[in-house]
Amino acid sequence: MNKMPKWADAVLIPLISILLAFFFSGLVIWAIGKDPVVAIKTMVQGAFGSTSGISYTLYYATNFIFTGLAVAVAYHARLFNIGGEGQAMLGGLGVTLVCLAVPWPHWMLALPAAMIGGALFGAAWAFIPAWLQAKRGSHIVITTIMFNYIGAALLGYLLTKVLKVPGSMLTESARFPEGAHLPNFSEILAPFGINFSPNAPANMAFFVALLCTFLFWILIWKTRLGYEIRAYGQSETAAKYAGINPSRIVIIAMLISGGLAGLMAINNVMGEAERLIDNAVEGAGFIGIAVALMGRNHPIGILLAALLFGFLYQGGAELSFWESIPRELVVVIQALVIMFTGALDNMVRMPLEKLFVALGKNKKKEA
């Protein structure tokens, strides 16, 4: 039964949902006595008005691409992975251990090793909830939430007791060696004669994120495993009849998901901080949920949504600086986006379906 053309489902509904979310965000800004138009101008100026702003926008977007893809892989298998935050934290630990293990001679060697470290630790943190879901039927949403907290406690312990530099007051690991420094955009673009803000954080990891987006598309739509993941997500019983092993799919999908979340650490830990700090993930794991929902679990959608949230994040920082609107406004926008594109999907969908059915009938009459 095709009630709606495909473009309406893929583009129109998300667009209306996002507009609704932004409309209500504007209302919030207006309600606290600020001018929404000025706010938007400030945000755009802050996010795109300088190379430093662009760099921050892309840096945040890189985080969200990783976590958005992570949520989306699991979602294709009908698994709701809320544990991206914890998996990214553990990924940070993996990256840190790799970077501090040897005095890396060059980032070209350090980056692949750090990617493996981050992905492995992230995947490991997703493995236990995945195994429990597959073998013991424990609900993955609850277990991944629990693992976020357990991960935070674990990292808190490691940072204060194990990784901390002796004698230092700061709860952070030692600085990574020079050779593990990822080139940032200023260093990448300088040979081309483009001047880019040298102290801004966007770095090599952005291109890794783009590569992952492409690989995600191949995996989900062009491989047998991706087909199995989608089949399992559509109907567990049908997948079983087709000879797909459900526990295998659950575990593999979650391992990939956790691995992608863990990969985020090459951006925030290796690329930006160059050491492991407390609360390095800053909620990016949760924003992944909004990004995946908004991007309809499609790589292009996720890329666009991640850029949008990168803009909101950087713009939000400027907003708190210039307009004294707290940064938490971004959390409100994020919540509204999740609400409208996720939970209230039917509110937009049902009237639109009726509209298209009515339009279809009219056409038939004319013909």
Measured from the CB atom, is 39 or 58 closer to another protein? Answer: 39
153 binds another protein (CB under 8 A): yes
Going by the DSSP 8-state scheme, the letter that residue 153 receives in this structure is H
Contact range with another protein by CB under 8 A, out of 59-67, 133-141, 198-206, 273-281: 133-141
Q: Please tell me whether residue 286 binds another protein under the rule CB under 8 A.
A: yes
Site string for another protein, 308-327 (x = CB under 8 A): ----------------xxx-
Kindly identify the residues of this chain, within the stretch 194-233, that bind another protein according to CB under 8 A: none
CB of 205 to another protein, least distance (A): 25
Counting contacts by CB under 8 A, is residue 70 touching another protein?
no
Q: Supply 257's token pair.
A: 């998901």
Distance CA 192, CA 37 (A): 37
Residue whose entry in the numeric block shows the structure tokens 């909620």: 283
Of 69 and 182, nearer to another protein (C-beta) is: 69
CB 202 within 8 A of CB 59: yes
Angle between helix 36-48 and helix 299-322 axes, rounded to 10 deg: 110
Say whether residue 45 binds another protein (CB under 8 A). no
When asked if residue 289 is in the footprint of another protein (CB under 8 A), the reply is yes
Distance CA 248, CA 224 (A): 13
Q: Is 134 in the site for another protein (CB under 8 A)?
A: no
**CB closer to another protein, 50 vs 279:** 279
Q: Which of 6, 136, 363, 364 binds another protein (CB under 8 A)?
A: 136
Residue 137 makes contact with another protein by CB under 8 A: yes
Closer to another protein at the Cβ: 97 or 344?
344
157 binds another protein (CB under 8 A): yes
Q: Kindly state whether residue 244 participates in binding another protein, applying the rule CB under 8 A.
A: no
The correct pick among 10, 44, 116, 145 for binding another protein (CB under 8 A) is 145
- Regarding 40 and contact with another protein (CB under 8 A), the answer is no
Q: Taking a C-beta distance cutoff of 8 angstroms, is the pair 283, 85 a contact? A: yes
Residue 193 neighbours by CB under 8 Å, 6+ apart: none
Specify burial of residue 144 (Cβ count, 10 A radius: 0-12, 13-18, 19+). buried
Q: Which of 345, 353, 356, 360 binds another protein (CB under 8 A)?
A: 345
Alpha helices in the chain (DSSP H): 6-7, 13-31, 36-48, 51-76, 84-101, 107-131, 140-157, 185-189, 205-222, 224-234, 236-241, 246-263, 265, 284-294, 299-322, 329-338, 345-366
Among residues 304, 260, 295, 262, the alpha carbon closest in space to that of 98 is found at: 262
Q: How many CA atoms lie within 13 A of 344 on its CB side?
A: 13
Enumerate binding residues for another protein (CB under 8 A).
28, 31-33, 80, 82, 128, 132, 136-139, 141-143, 145-147, 149-150, 153-154, 156-157, 161, 286, 289, 293, 324-326, 328-336, 338-339, 342-347, 350
